[in-house]
């Protein structure tokens, strides 16, 4: 009997203030139930430059993130950190969000117009200049397009992944 699991995600357009432009990012806002062996196949199925899986904080941040390209896991990348900060900090109403990454804690400072986040920046690594980002928050509502990844696992064929 096949087992079906649904995992919710948000698509955000990063480095832009215009809908359907910028660098797309899939953010799975609660990855606690996503099996480890499915992280890479899901990222490959999403086929964005990066896909982020969010977990509860473990080292003093607000959330822990794992970043995957379609081919491998990355300890850090600016675009997914900034995009994840926008997705996560919006509902939390935080002026700064601290994300736990493979290189350690990364604070992201956010600028708002009312409740809407319009700009974010971070010092991604010590001694480097800040990374700045705009994000389109008007594309499909407050942050981006929401969807579900459906994974069907059978004993004979393994996982079958589809997005909706």
β-pairing, 104-113 vs 116-122, is antiparallel
100 is a catalytic site residue: no
Which of the following is catalytic: 45, 50, 73, 100? 50
Rounded (5°) CA angle 62-23-21: 125
Residue 52 tokens, joined: 């982020």
- Yes or no: say if 68 and 43 are a contact pair by the CB < 8 Å rule: yes
Helix/strand/coil for 133: strand
- Residue 130 is given by DSSP the state P
Catalytic residues: 50
């Amino acid at each position: 009997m096949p087992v079906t699991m649904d995992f919710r995600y948000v698509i955000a357009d990063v480095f832009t203030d215009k809908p359907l432009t910028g660098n797309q990012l899939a953010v799975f806002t609660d990855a606690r139930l996503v099996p480890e062996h499915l992280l890479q196949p899901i990222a490959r199925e999403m086929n964005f430059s990066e896909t982020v899986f969010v977990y509860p904080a473990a080292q003093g941040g607000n959330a822990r993130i794992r970043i995957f390209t379609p081919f491998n896991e990355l300890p850090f990348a600016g675009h997914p950190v900034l995009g994840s900060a926008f997705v996560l900090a919006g509902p939390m109403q935080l002026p700064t969000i601290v994300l736990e990454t493979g290189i350690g804690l990364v604070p992201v400072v956010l600028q708002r117009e009312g409740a809407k986040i319009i700009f974010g920046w971070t010092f991604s690594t010590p001694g480097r200049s800040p990374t700045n980002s705009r994000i389109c928050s008007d594309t499909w509502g407050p942050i981006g397009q929401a969807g579900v990844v459906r994974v069907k696992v059978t004993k004979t064929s393994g996982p079958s992944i589809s997005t909706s």
